[in-house]
Amino acid sequence: MHLHTGTHVVTELFGMQVNLDTIFTTWLAAIIVILVTLAATRGRAMVPSGIQNAMEMLVEALCNQFQDNIGHKYRQVATWLLTLFLFIFTSNQLGLLPTNHLTASPTNDVNTTLGLAIASSLAIHFYYLKNKGFGHWIGHFFKPFSLFVVMNLVEEVARPITLAMRLFGNILAGEILLEVLYALAPWLVPMIWIAFSLFVGAVQAYIFTTLVSIYLKESVE
Amino acid sequence: MEKKHQTRDKHSDFSPLRSAAVASGAGLTMLTCIGLCVYAGLRCDEYFGTSPWGLVGGSLLGGVSGIWSVIKQMLRK
């Protein structure tokens, strides 16, 4: 049995290997997020209904969670975290579309998840520098005392890898299992797994965003 | 009565979803820290010819860093 999931259409650009399918599905996910957000925010009514209602419920629930994790200054990073959630959530669901291997989740490629995790790590340091200054930023590597600098540096390197691997592993494993189930029992079983994968996609987007918001607490408070 | 309110506030601060998110990262954080330090230790052994002390030191540092990282994550909230 030949598995399509996890294989990519590779091309060479400026001496680097680029996964074309990942780039196209990333653009597709971004376009979907932009269109849904535009549809939800155009012609806003005082009493929301339809897509506006759904989006307001989602944004409110997430913002409450961010406020719990970060504190009252959560608005500084709310746009970053909401964009992250919507993009990851949409990306995770793309691979479940019945398109005969035409679309796959961009998050089943480690390049995407590592990119998101590194960008999040850089954002954590950016907000730390912006809010507390260079002295405090250097100082936080030496807390609680200077002997911990090596351990803190190891943690800084491990953090984006952990974030990326969790998302990548969960989504890739889900899609591989879906393909195997389609081959073994093409009727009812994949439907159940798709329903479960919808849930897993949402949970993984939530976990990624929540962990980034917890890491951001120190930078923003 | 006051004690009862305090207990309720403490419970309302608990978010099972957030705790699940943090817990899901704990094992992987440990694994990543140990993996990174073991790799660095092996490269040190290869470069400086200190085998097996780079590996031993890397394993110990990775384990301690992993535990420290998990403790920090748990204490954040």
pLDDT, chain A, mean: 90
pLDDT at A186: 82
Q: What is the pLDDT of residue A79?
A: 94
Residue of A161, A210, A218 with shortest CB distance to B21: A210
Domain of residue B47 covers 27-76
CB within 8 Å: B18 and A68: yes
Share of residues in chain A with pLDDT > 90 (%): 59
- Select the more confidently predicted residue: A99 or B34: B34
Which of A84-88, A92-96, A186-190 has the largest mean confidence?
Answer: A84-88
By Cβ distance, the residue of A65, A151, A161 closest to B32 is A161
State how far the Cα of A212 lies from the Cα of A219, in Å rounded to an integer.
11
**What are the structure tokens assigned to A4, written together?**
């399509």
B24 touches chain A (CB under 8 A): yes
On whether the CB atoms of residues A89 and A201 are closer than 8 A, the answer is yes
Bridge partners of A13, per DSSP, are A16
**Cβ <8 Å between A214 and B68:** no
Choose the most confident range, by mean pLDDT, from A15-24, A115-124, B3-12, B20-29: A115-124
B67 interfaces chain A, CB cutoff of 8 Å: no
Evaluate whether residue B4 is within a structural domain. Answer: no
B64 domain residue, yes or no: yes
Q: Per-residue pLDDT for B37 more than 90?
A: yes
* CB proximity list for A96: less than 8 A, separation 6 or greater: A105, A178, A194, A197, A198, A201
Cα distance between residue B52 and residue B58, in whole Å: 10
Inter-chain touch B22–A218, beta carbons under 8 Å: no
Query: Stretch B57-68: mean pLDDT, rounded?
Result: 94
From chain A, pick out residues whose CB is under 8 angstroms from the CB of B68.
148, 151, 155
The CA-CA-CA angle for residues A158, A159, A165, to 5°, reads 85
What is the amino acid identity at position A34? I
Burial letters B3-24, b for 16+ CB under 10 A, else e? eeeeeeeeeeeebeebeebbeb
Contact B15 A68 (CB under 8 A): yes
Q: How far is A140 from chain B (nearest CA, A)?
A: 13
The reported pLDDT for the residue numbered B4 is 47
User: Do the chains contact at B29 and A158, CB–CB below 8 Å?
Assistant: yes
* pLDDT band for position A103 (cuts 50, 70, 90): confident
Report pLDDT digits (tens) over A34-67. Answer: 999 999 988 777 777 788 889 999 999 999 999 9
Q: What is the mean pLDDT of residues A190-216?
A: 91
pLDDT tens digits, one per residue of A160-187: 999 999 999 999 999 888 888 888 888 8
> Is pLDDT at B9 greater than 60 in this prediction?
no
Q: Is B65 a member of any domain? A: yes
Provide the domain count of chain B: 1
Q: Is residue B35 part of a domain?
A: yes
Question: Chain A within 8 Å of B11 (Cβ-Cβ)?
Answer: no
Could you tell me if residue B15 is inside a domain? Answer: no
The answer to the question of residue B34 being in a domain is yes
* Residue B71 domain-assigned (yes or no): yes
Q: Which residues of B touch A162 (CB under 8 A)?
A: 25, 28-29, 32
Q: How far apart are CA A39 and CA A33, in angstroms?
A: 10
Q: Give residue B14's region: left, alpha or beta (phi > 0; psi -120 to 50).
A: beta
Q: What is the ipTM of this complex?
A: 0.78
- At residue B66, what is the residue type? G
B14 is a domain residue: no
pLDDT tens sequence across A142-158: 988 888 999 999 999 99
Beta strand residue intervals within chain A, DSSP E: 10-13, 16-19
pLDDT given at position A22 = 92
